[in-house]
Amino acid sequence: MARLAGKIALITGAARGQGAAAARRYVEEGARVVVADVADADGARLAADLGDAAVYRHLDVSAEDDWAAAVADAVRGLGGLDILVNNAGVLHFSAIEETRLADYERVIGVNQVGTFLGMRAVIPEMTRRGGGSIINVSSIEGLAGMPYLVAYSASKFAIRGMTKVAATELGDRGIRVNSVHPGMIETQMVYDAAGGPDADLSWAGKKVPLRRIGRPEEIAELAVFLGSDESSYCTGAEFVADGGATATHAFNLS
């Protein structure tokens, strides 16, 4: 039997990268999926490729009204909502003294505020259905700091904390809340931040025990596990997929 049979999921930032990989795996495992993003052309194309099991919804995760409409669409169009994957995120590199307030607020607005709004928006429907799973995508930068990522790290640490608060508040409703902490993953967002599609990321892979960067599909597998009943006793936890990056420390960067 498919691991997500009968479940309805909303995945943000699902037009490409980790979100798109998760949407594909969710459909393969029997779920129906709301593909949510601001990249309308890519998102609509993915939903069309996935067939009747997926619909596309424009969703700016930093906008309250967009969240209300997205959840209403899931309930009205697909029949409910069992899983939220808060995956949408943006990345910004700059030294602290060179970080403009507007850039800091943009990262916080998408990554941190977007996660908060998403959790808040789905609670009533998940409560009505007797439970659900919220999967918040943080980062290894939500476990330890990295130079030039002050806004990103702040937002990812916040996601980690909000996850634990939500898990303690929502456990008695059968709603599980966990965070996922990827290391460097081969996505367009990372390539864009590194300078473009031809950027060389091999140096990063050499810094971790597995000697490579990760693939979006590997993070999608974690999202499947956390959305499924296989993780029925997991809540408030941190799930790391980083090639071993957090197993070491700065003196072992060879």
- What amino acid positions are annotated as catalytic residues? 152
Q: Which two tokens stand for residue 194?
A: 């590194």
Going 155 to 137 to 89 to 117, the CA torsion angle's sign is negative
Q: Mean of the pLDDT values across residues 41-66?
A: 98
C-alpha distances in angstroms, 52 versus 101, 104, 206? 43, 39, 42
Q: For residue 88, is pLDDT > 60? A: yes
Q: pTM of this prediction?
A: 0.94
pLDDT reported for residue 186:
87
At residue 198 the predicted structure's pLDDT band, cuts being 50, 70 and 90, is: confident
Report the candidate in 32, 114, 19 with the shortest Cα–Cα distance to residue 73: 32
Backbone angles phi, psi at 149, to 5 degrees: -130, 45
Is the per-residue pLDDT at 127 higher than 80?
A: yes
Query: Distance (Å, rounded) from C-alpha 117 to C-alpha 66?
Result: 10
**pLDDT tops 60 at residue 115:** yes
Q: Report whether 180 contacts 222 (CB < 8 A).
A: yes
What is the chain's mean pLDDT, rounded? 94
Question: Residue 229: what residue type?
Answer: D
pLDDT computed for residue 195 by the predictor: 64
Q: Which amino acid is at 194?
A: A
Distance CA(66)–CA(87), nearest Å, equals: 16
173 burial level (CB within 10 Å; 0-12, 13-18, 19+):
middle
Superfamily of domain 8-244: NAD(P)-binding Rossmann-like Domain (3.40.50.720)
Residue in the block written with tokens 């808040």: 120
Q: Which pLDDT does position 202 carry in this prediction?
A: 75
Q: In sequence order, what DSSP letters do the residues of 43-107 get, joined into one string?
A: HHHHHHHHGGGEEEEE--TT-HHHHHHHHHHIIIIIS---EEEE-------B-GGG--HHHHHHH
Q: Which residue has the tokens 């072992």?
A: 252
How do beta strands 175-182 and 132-137 pair?
parallel
Domain ranges of the chain: 8-244
For residue 241, the model assigns a pLDDT of 96
Supply 90's token pair. 């943006």
Give the range among 83-92, 101-110, 141-150, 202-211 with minimum mean pLDDT.
202-211
Predicted pLDDT at 121: 98
Rounded percentage of the chain residues whose pLDDT exceeds 70: 95
Q: How far is CA 104 from CA 46, 155, 159, 162, 177, in A?
A: 30, 10, 16, 19, 26
Q: What is the pLDDT of residue 196?
A: 65
pLDDT attached to residue 207: 83
Residue 228 confidence (pLDDT) above 60: yes
Query: In the prediction, which pLDDT does 137 show?
Result: 98
Task: Tally DSSP H helices, then E strands, for the chain.
Answer: 9, 7
